[in-house]
């Protein structure tokens, strides 16, 4: 019975060490992929699609001094034309919520 208990502890310790080594290897691989992604995000010509949002709020806008809101959606989409050329689109889609300029009208 004593031999079975010590064998069970040896199996548990070995399993724990295996799990820890596996987690460490996975963590290292995740760090490498995070480092590669961080480098790509800093490279303006990387093959990486990004979607930026910019919100601008203006208070006391217009003759009735109300709040105006402009949300700019700015996708950056790189396209490979050939081995030497890339086309990078940087379109801006504004969504405007502007107060009425006369009484009785809505936004």
**91-106: per-residue pLDDT in tens?**
999 999 888 777 777 7
Both 69 and 106 in a single domain?
A: yes
Both 34 and 55 in a single domain?
A: no
Nearest 5°: the CA angle 80, 36, 22 is 130
Number of domains making up the chain: 2
Entry pTM: 0.53
What are 18's two structure tokens? Answer: 């295996």
Both 19 and 70 in a single domain?
A: no
Query: 34-81 pLDDT, tens per residue?
Result: 788 788 777 766 777 888 899 999 888 777 788 889 999 998 888 888
Both 52 and 11 in a single domain?
A: no
Answer for the pair 49, 77: CB distance below 8 angstroms, yes or no. Answer: yes
Both 68 and 32 in a single domain?
A: no
Both 102 and 53 in a single domain?
A: yes
Both 68 and 28 in a single domain?
A: no
What are 14's two structure tokens? Answer: 């070995």
């Amino acid at each position: 019975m004593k031999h079975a208990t010590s064998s069970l502890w040896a199996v548990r310790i070995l399993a724990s060490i295996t799990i820890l080594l596996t987690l460490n290897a996975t963590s290292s691989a995740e760090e490498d992929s995070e480092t590669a992604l961080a480098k790509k995000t800093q490279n303006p010509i990387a093959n990486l699609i990004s979607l930026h949002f910019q919100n601008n709020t203006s208070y006391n806008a217009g003759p009735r001094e109300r709040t105006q809101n402009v949300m700019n959606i700015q996708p950056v989409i790189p396209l490979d034309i050939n081995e030497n050329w890339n086309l990078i689109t940087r379109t801006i889609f504004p969504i405007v919520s502007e107060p009425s300029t006369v009484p009785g009208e809505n936004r």
